[in-house]
């Protein structure tokens, strides 16, 4: 869910439902694969900044299963970063009640601000989960907030390859190596918090630093 708990993208199904004779059974929980914030931005249909103003539990009208229940968060959208072609105004987002189904718990008591990303269902509702870019707005770095405006989008054609062990070599010119785990033993290190992987004029991809220099030098492109 949060960057402090390691960013991730969905690695398979949230839940596998066996539908037969009116029976529903959960046989798989939430499983996510680590991902740079830019990857989560690029894979999302909707990315917004919003405040949470309320919540309630809702159930599909055609199901009595507790596993089908959703938390409906009422939100006040502050800014949209992605999804202009899909929604003009968003009043609610939905997430599974159970964390084992990738549901996320947001603070609705203090009108907390969040960065929310997710997908749109066929009925127009917005779904968010642990495998999406969901983070307290105050926890984002200044560079991340800046990159949401256009730099992440500029790099959606680039590939970010996570390095876990040495050697870790690039497999193409359209790729950036994500080395936070090797250098900081964390997926929430300097590259995650300060950098975007952007396609340059020569069509190659390279890290772009949007904030102050990190302690370790691992890129070749910086703010002028």
The model's pLDDT over 22-41, given as tens digits with 9 standing for 90+, comes to: 434 444 578 888 899 999 99
The model's pLDDT over 52-111, given as tens digits with 9 standing for 90+, comes to: 999 999 987 666 666 679 999 999 999 999 999 888 889 999 999 999 899 999 999 888
3-state SS assignment for residue 171? coil
pTM: 0.80
30 annotated ligand-binding residue: yes
Q: Kindly report the number of other CB atoms within 10 A of residue 78's CB atom.
A: 12
- Min mean pLDDT across 38-42, 171-175, 207-211 is at 207-211
C-alpha torsion sign, points 125, 127, 133, 134: positive
């Amino acid at each position: 869910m949060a960057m402090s708990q390691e960013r991730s993208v969905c690695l398979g199904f949230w839940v596998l439902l066996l539908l037969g004779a009116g029976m529903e059974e959960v046989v798989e929980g939430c499983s996510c694969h680590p991902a740079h914030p830019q990857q989560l931005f690029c894979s999302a249909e909707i990315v917004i900044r919003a405040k949470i103003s309320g919540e309630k539990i809702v159930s599909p009208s055609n199901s009595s299963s507790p596993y089908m229940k959703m938390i409906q968060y009422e939100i006040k959208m502050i800014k949209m970063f992605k999804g202009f072609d899909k929604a003009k105004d968003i009043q609610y987002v939905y997430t599974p009640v159970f964390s084992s189904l990738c549901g996320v718990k947001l603070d609705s008591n203090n009108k907390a601000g969040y960065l929310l990303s997710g997908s749109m269902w066929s009925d127009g509702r917005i779904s968010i989960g642990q495998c999406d870019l969901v983070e307290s707005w105050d926890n984002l770095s200044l560079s991340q907030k800046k990159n949401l405006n256009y730099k992440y989008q500029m790099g959606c054609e680039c590939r970010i390859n996570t390095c876990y062990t040495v050697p870790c070599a690039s497999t193409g010119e359209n790729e950036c190596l994500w080395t936070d785990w090797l250098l900081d033993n964390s997926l929430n290190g300097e590259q995650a918090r300060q950098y975007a992987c952007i396609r340059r004029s020569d069509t190659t991809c390279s890290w772009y630093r949007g904030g102050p220099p990190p302690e370790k030098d691992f890129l070749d492109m910086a703010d002028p």
